[in-house]
A = this chain, B = another copy of it.
Amino acid sequence: MDEKTFYLPKGYRYAGVNCGIKPGSKKLDFALVVSERPATAAGVYTQNLNCGAPVVYDRERTPGRGFVVVATDSGCANACTGKVGLFNARKMAEYAGEAVGATGDQALVMSTGVIGVQLPMKAIAIGAERAAAKLGTSYHDFEKAATAIQTTDTRLKVVSRQATLPGGATIRLAAMCKGAAMIGPNMATMLVTIVTDAALDPEDAQTALRGAVDDTFNCISVEGHTSTSDTCILLANGAADPTPLKGDSLKFFSNILLDMCQELAPMIPNDGEGVTHLVTIDVTGAPDRASAKLLAQTVANDALVKTAICGADPNWGRVVSATGRCGVPYDPAKVSLKINGYLLYENGVPQSFNKEEVSNSIRSNRNVSVELFFQEGDGKIRFWTSDLTAEYVHLNADYTT
């Protein structure tokens, strides 16, 4: 990331610190994102029924106004933790709010890490204190916060945009996210904090955010497991211009937000645990958008497809077979498939192709393209996923013990 071309919205401060969530670890594990003026907040959350306590806390409060801080810990998800977990999430919001001279009601919280373990509240208290003392406005501060929310991620995941609205005001958006496993799309699919210095009314912020998430964070997967903790929060503080965006300006903003999320979302499967390929799946001609998504998602989460791509094996039958098992009705005699541009299957008939050449193409490109063409309707979608490697298994066979 080149910090000179990274656009930081006005009126925010950031910090990432170590507070010892995992005893003995020096890793940054607590982040604060603070707005200098009360901001509108919108949120999109996991649909997992066993959602984490922070999700319960935030969901009750967004969309809304008057927020000044988002506090995030990594190392403990505070999920499947019962009433104690809910109490601790509220406490974490209080600690964060008080640390920056506000209240718990002005704070939102996010937690990620192991499920079923109670938050170490002493560490959280220390984290809020330490982070509040280190808040800064530089790209370096932003990067530290973005690092502190990560778990098994190996790459920093941050993006930004700057744009001049039709009305003349210049606004900025910036986002940080984490995610490398337990990624399966059903609403949001990881932790994301987006900040902007545009002003937005709560319902408009919520609509813009949901629209962007549907085509981006809801179109990615690593292994298809919708986590307990998926949260995507947008803060809009109006530091660039306090007038809430409406009409064309709002539409313009929504498009920039979508464009930014399109850059950010694939970074997650591209950093999926043990990943060696980022796979982009384009489905066209499906009966409708929901069908297109189900087709793409079934291919994206298929262990046989993902292992074949890991092995640079052009075993295309697994892709076609996967589309046939998901329940979407279509005519099998009107399906075509390309991998990395090579036409392997056309209108239900296998095409002859040079196996060696296609295999080399997969092996030598980290980005693999899978295109599926149906002739049923206008439904289309783009979906991103990781391949499945032995390293993913090694990483996940021994995560808590």
A-to-B contact residues, CB < 8 Å: 47-51, 77, 79-82, 114-118, 181-182, 184, 186, 223-228, 302-304, 307-308, 310-318, 320-325, 329-330, 332-333, 335, 345, 348-350, 355, 359, 388-394, 396-401
Q: Which of A318, A322, A332, A359 has the most CB of B within 10 A?
A: A318
Q: Which of A322, A324, A359, A397 has the most CB of B within 10 A?
A: A397
Known: A50-B323, A321-B50. A359 touches B401 (CB 8 A): yes
Residues of chain B lying within 8 A (CB to CB) of residue A345 = 80, 116
Interface pair B302/A225, CB less than 8 Å apart: yes
A378 to B391, CA, bound (A): 41
Residues of chain B lying within 8 A (CB to CB) of residue A302 = 223, 225
Interface pair B116/A317, CB less than 8 Å apart: yes
Interface pair A82/B349, CB less than 8 Å apart: yes
Partner of A50, one of B228, B320, B388, B401: B320
A61 to B186, CA, bound (A): 42
A61 to B401, CA, bound (A): 54
A79 to B324, CA, bound (A): 11
Residues of chain B lying within 8 A (CB to CB) of residue A48 = 321, 324-325
Interface pair B225/A314, CB less than 8 Å apart: no
A311 to B315, CA, bound (A): 29
29 interchain pairs (CB within 8 A)?
A: A49-B323, A49-B325, A50-B324, A50-B332, A51-B324, A80-B332, A82-B333, A114-B317, A115-B317, A115-B320, A115-B321, A116-B317, A116-B345, A182-B304, A223-B302, A223-B303, A225-B322, A303-B396, A304-B396, A307-B396, A308-B400, A310-B393, A311-B396, A315-B401, A388-B393, A389-B393, A390-B390, A390-B394, A392-B393
